[in-house]
Chain A
């Protein structure tokens, strides 16, 4: 009897609530909702320990109290008088993000890597940044005022379908690829080449990322190693452009050679890893790990806490320089001006030097922002890496290319302890030497991507043709025997019942 009474009551309550809910909402002022999708663990979530973690720069302390997203919401309200609500979500890989967009998830602002930005741009899914965003006179335009000249140059000189990257994308983090290695087990010389992957001395002691693009790039670099390090090639007039062409070679012959190469090194590696590489370096299961520089910094930091030192080396052949950048999506922003303004303000807020420092400290990756006239980011670098006054073995480490675009700029030369070379600093801010041989990995069209993906599947799958004929014969005999035994038993049984 009771159930009959409760159900209608419950339904009535629900109905009443749904009638009144909008009325409660309208008491609030107008809010802009901003749907942001970023990599996992790729933004400062705050909650730092004030005692231990305050970054005490001379220009003032920096401390992540609340998450950057929360700080943005407050800042936006104070600055523009409009409330904004950020719906923050994360993705695991660029391909996941693309699949999420395909099945109809809508975001206003996302942060994929350069090749995915190029793919989305080529599919006309990206909303260009407004003219206003590029106005350096405006107080709150932290991005355009602070973006590193080095990064800016790359974004302005690369285009897809006639549109340069910088019109659509704002750099967030960047880095290179290289080997984190245990200097007690691996020599620096061995670690400074992609040939480390095939080095029999470290048989089954090296991991690399389980990722077709990284594996492809490394294999191409190893295969073309001789040419890439030859002086003739290095001194060539169009070295940078030619290097990029060589490293992005996806001709069928090269894809085939890469397949053979990867199949060859598969048994020489410990494994391809999705996420265990950092931990395995720290616990000592492997002696080297081909890794993204941001994660390399993380691994080195973690190891240091246990009084255990890891180093970072960049292949002498070349290295993959990669970017993650913010882009606005047409499907989310549409014609909504208020939303676009909030999205661009979000990029600017994250590019404000104190936010940049908080992010770099928190996630270990290197920001694309150098700060422009605001000196705090360079100050943070000094705070982080500079040698103490009484230290004796120090070296000079110029980072002018990143801060002013002039590699020889004397104002941007760090004086660091010698041992820092080959550790976090050279992963976070690669030396001018490394930058010269860095190449981006472009976006391949569908046919090329298909070719590479198929190659990767072939590398990873068990090859049925590799099973010797003998095994097949033995198997066939066994199955035949099993079938015969089964029927024989069945007949025996039937005999018994008769």
Chain B
């Protein structure tokens, strides 16, 4: 047996086949068959004609978009300030932001539930707001880290050149730093946006009784409708692919033109 570099890839290959490719095939099978095992596209047409699934899609999108926007709004300044400061303890501060990730997720949300109850009194009046806050709390580190990593690696001289050529601080930031940190923003968004569409445990724990995509799939499965449920999962997967493709396209364009934006 010859040991080559390819051998190192075997564990990953096995993992990929067992836990990614095989389930995906099962998903496809169920999504495009009916109860009798015959091929059908009815599940697909059902998805786009049923006001419930479309409504849930819209509601999930609304939650996910708001969460992502809020995360970005909080995370970007934090990441920017930390990355550009001369603080020696930078990494410690970044760790404080990332630390919640080490604590069990449901514990964190339970704690948040108590905090919100103390502030709002009765949680039931603000289900949408609570869901968004819960998700933001949960996903914030995923937004901070990639942005921080991108900004911290930026070449300071680019910014200095912009200042030398007469750009004021605001203009230099908008024209140099911000465009160059777009890759970090994109990967941050993709880490937050998609989980936020399906993470129904947050909604459950914070008493939002409206379904989002994750809970809708669950409801199909507990009604033994694996076919409809699989189709919803598949459509979501389609959204992920579309989003990733768009993001990649955006990134390429930036790589091409970003440097010349001065």
Contact = CB atoms under 8 A, between A and B. Distances in A.
A460 B216 CA distance: 9
B55 A99 contact: no
B223 interface: yes
Contacts of B219: 453, 456-457, 460
A493 B211 CA distance: 43
B252 to A, nearest CB: 15
B40 interface: no
Nearest to B253: A490
B55 A7 contact: no
Given A458-B52, A461-B52, A453 B124 contact: no
A271 B209 contact: yes
A99 B257 contact: no
A460 B209 contact: yes
A205 B122 contact: yes
Contacts, number: 85
Nearest to B210: A462
Interface in A240-265: none
B198 interface: no
A98 B226 CA distance: 12
Contacts of B224: 95, 98-99, 102
Contacts of B52: 457-458, 461, 463
Interface residues of B, number: 33
A204 interface: yes
Contacts of A271: 124, 127, 207-209
Contacts of A93: 222
A416 B219 CA distance: 44
Contact of B223 (A8, A210, A453, A493): A453
Contacts of B25: none
Main secondary structure of the interface of B (DSSP, over half): helix
Contact of B209 (A269, A467, A497): A269
Interface string A1-13: 0011001100000
A465 interface: yes
Contact of A497 (B3, B124, B207, B260): B260
A266 B54 contact: no
Nearest to A284: B117
B34 interface: no
A462 B56 contact: yes
B222 A96 contact: yes
Q: For the side of the interface on A, what is the size category? A: 35 or more
Contacts of B122: 204-205, 270
B3 A462 contact: no
Interface string B36-70: 00000000000000011111101100000000000
Interface string B107-126: 00000000001000011110
Interface in B210-233: 210-211, 215-216, 219, 221-225
B175 to A, nearest CB: 12
B1 A4 contact: yes
B160 interface: no
Interface string B53-94: 111101100000000000000000000000000000000000
A158 interface: no
A124 to B, nearest CB: 17
B205 interface: yes
A463 B257 CA distance: 43
Given A276-B205, A497-B260, A269 B58 contact: no
Nearest to B63: A462
Nearest to B223: A453
A270 B120 CA distance: 14
Nearest to A102: B224
A285 B210 contact: no
A122 B47 CA distance: 31
Nearest to A268: B124
B210 A460 contact: yes
B204 interface: yes
Nearest to A266: B209
Nearest to A279: B110
Given A96-B222, A449-B223, A457 B209 contact: no
A274 to B, nearest CB: 6
Contact of B51 (A95, A102, A463): A463
B124 A462 contact: no
Contacts of A95: 221-224
Nearest to B124: A204
Interface string B125-143: 1010000000000000000
A406 B204 CA distance: 45
Given A274-B204, A450-B223, A464-B58, A457 B51 contact: no
Contact of B55 (A272, A449, A463): A463
20 contacts: A4-B1, A7-B1, A8-B1, A95-B222, A204-B125, A205-B122, A270-B207, A272-B209, A273-B207, A276-B205, A453-B219, A457-B211, A461-B56, A462-B56, A462-B58, A462-B59, A463-B52, A464-B54, A464-B58, A465-B51
Interface of A: 3-4, 7-8, 93, 95-96, 98-99, 102, 204-205, 210, 266, 269-274, 276, 285, 449-450, 453, 456-458, 460-467, 493, 497
* Interface pairs A-B: 10 shortest CB-CB: A464-B55, A271-B207, A462-B59, A204-B124, A461-B52, A95-B222, A453-B223, A462-B55, A270-B124, A460-B211
Given A99-B224, A460-B210, A460-B219, 5 more contacts: A204-B125, A460-B211, A462-B56, A464-B58, A493-B257
